[in-house]
Amino acid sequence: MAEPRVEAVLFDIDGTLITTGGAGAVAWRRAFEELHGKGVDIREVTESGMVDTEVGSTALRGLLGRDPDGRELAAAMGRYLRHLPEAVAESDGYRVMPGIEALLDRLVDTGHLLGLTTGNVEAAAHIKLSRGGLNRFFAFGGYGSDAMDRVGLTKCALDRARVVSGGTVQPERCISVGDTPRDVAAGHGAGIRVVGVATGNYGADELSAAGAEWVLETVEDGFPV
């Protein structure tokens, strides 16, 4: 039996569409320094693919020696978003991943609906994409501000795909693209197939072991749509 035709493609951001060159870590460190007088390098205490609320909570837990309360997490998130535009703008390591812009242009030309599925809260997602000029491609998304886990935010993205398409796009006609095992698990948890791309912190073997239906070194390497 033939697989359903793909009508919508959902993309992760960090490590998949772009790398900020560590700008997110810089913004978080500045936020913690302002609020608590001590910085935290989130790259040392968190894992790729976490949602932003989990990143903030984990870093604060290590900094405070206890679970943060809601006000503390909200304060950290607010300061992080305040610092993120400058951190992204000044990052020497910011770049759009190989083949991404050409792929997005091609998918738009072939009538595919494009969305985001990312652990970034919505504001952070668009700040990060803005420097690379990529916001213009995405009609909807599921964000770390929609759910506390990757499966939940991916389901939010699928709900929005149905809305944006006028109710015509169903989950079986969607795929997601990500660079971490968490991205693979999120897509499968939401009931969709996943393209794993080895442009982040995980290799092709690790993405294949996580169960991605397709595994590519970059999206230039035979993207399946």
User: CB–CB of 177/116 below 8 Å?
Assistant: no
Q: What is the pTM of this model?
A: 0.95
Task: Give the separation between CA 183 and CA 9, rounded to whole angstroms.
Answer: 13
Query: What are the tokens at 125?
Result: 């997602």
Task: Give the separation between CA 16 and CA 178, rounded to whole angstroms.
Answer: 6
pLDDT of residue 40: 87
Report CA torsion sign: 222, 111, 184, 61: positive
CA distances to 11, 172, 192, 193 from 187, rounded to whole Å, are 11, 11, 5, 6
Fold entry, domain 8-19+95-216: Rossmann fold (3.40.50)
Closest residue by Cα to residue 97 from 3, 196, 224, 197: 197
- If pLDDT is split at 50, 70 and 90, which confidence band does 48 have? confident
- If pLDDT is split at 50, 70 and 90, which confidence band does 1 have? low
Task: Give the separation between CA 112 and CA 105, rounded to whole angstroms.
Answer: 10
